[in-house]
Amino acid sequence: MWPRRVAVLSVHTSPLEQPGTGDAGGMNVYITHTATEMARRGISVEVFTRATSSDQPPAAELAPGVLVRHIPAGPFEPLARDELPAQLCAFTSGVLRTEAFHEPGYYDLIHSHYWLSGQVGWLARDRWGVPLVHTAHTLAKVKNAALADGDKPEPRTRVIGEEQVVAEADCLVANTSVEAGQLVGLYGADPNAVRTVSPGVDVERFTPGPRADARRRIGVPADAIVLAFVGRIQPLKAPDVLLRAAARLLERQPELAGRLVVLVVGGPSGNGLEQPRALRDLAVSLGIEKQTVFLPPQPGEELATVYRAADVVAVPSYNESFGLVALEAQACGTPVVAAEVGGLPVAVAHRESGLLVPSHADDDWAAALADVALRPGLREALAVNAVRHARRFSWSRTTDALLSTYAAAADSFSALRSEVAV
């Protein structure tokens, strides 16, 4: 049976924020679309997130049936994620206080996103007597095993916190079977408590469109060779890999200098080498500053325009639990060249909708990008298949699977409570 009302916990980032900057990214997109889809099915969703400004209202409507609650916890300003554990007590208090103004049993289920939210969800679960479903989105042990140069390892505090949440949650949602295996193998999760639910893509917004029109809208020449990166500018996402590969491509084929455009769309992140300035300096040192164009994070239809304008979208991350950018680009008919890590082999069908690169070496990436961007016949074949592949994923399908998971978690929770009562 579906829940009537779901409490969604997203401590460190709000679904109202623009993805692509700060800590806002794929998780924001995930929460926004699944919450909205649930509301369309008659389920009330309340998203709890930390207030970052005194100007924010206590509650704001994200969509009909979806309310975002801003919980004061610490100063009214953005905080780095390593500062947030100190605010979890205050945040938890605000969540529990909100529920206390309602009749008992107001929320039927808690869905926490990221380990910080899982810590809050674990306590609220015990206080409210409702099941806890948790989605990690990223895992510290996995990230630490594949760090980019110059990136900081995730702290032991997070590793311990994740282990606690894995042990306490009634159900764990993994984006792919790979992540499900990591939860079991690295964190000792009960295999029976892990469900694999692939994220989706907005197939109404991200659709193919005329490339010439898209290029005109963003000021790119019609005959350009456009290599695009979309995402937060941080070592984990590895936009530098694209720049280095582009420079290597020009070394091999200097005649492309007048046509090549490296399009970087994104903003600063909250971790490591976060400033776009460092990436601009890298473009200068590589001698490709004239070919590199930086754009801020793009909302909605503007982001679809970026995808349509590109010959290929690069996703060179060192780790991705899934890779929503890859799915969005393919839905727009743009092939993707992606690192063969995490969930990207699910998001990208190798040699069908794009190419997977098994390393982060400049030569390997330059060759893969050239294969797609400079071979029109291959690019067009990949583009057709990319749309078909992306349409296998939708937020409606994701939400159906989540609701099935909620029902299973509720049954498991009820059975556990019955055993304890006996």
Annotated binding-site positions for UDP-N-acetyl-alpha-D-glucosamine:
18-19, 26, 232, 237, 298, 320, 328
Query: CB-based burial of residue 38 (10 Å sphere; 0-12 exposed, 13-18 middle, 19+ buried)?
Result: buried
Task: Cite the annotated binding site for Mg(2+) by residue number.
Answer: 307-308, 310, 334
CA distance 240 to 279: 7
Instruction: Return the biggest CA–CA distance within the chain.
Output: 78
Q: Which two tokens stand for residue 16?
A: 């109202």
| Residue numbers belonging to the annotated binding site | 12, 18-19, 23-28, 81, 114, 138, 158, 232, 237, 298, 307-308, 310, 320, 328, 334
Residue type present at position 67: L
For tokens 């939708």, the residue is: 394
DSSP assignment letter at 36? H
Sign for the pseudo-dihedral over CA of 103, 58, 29, 393: positive
For strand 109-113 and strand 66-71, is the pairing parallel, antiparallel, or unpaired?
A: unpaired
Which residues line the annotated binding site for 1D-myo-inositol 3-phosphate?
A: 12, 23-28, 81, 114, 138, 158
First-to-last alpha carbon distance for the chain, in angstroms, is 24
Contact present, 139 and 415 (Cβ < 8 Å): no
The structure tokens listed for 416 are 């556990």
d(CA 51, CA 40): 26
DSSP string covering 358-388: SS--HHHHHHHHHHHHT-HHHHHHHHHHHHH
> By C-alpha distance, which of 1, 10, 151, 124 is closest to 67?
10
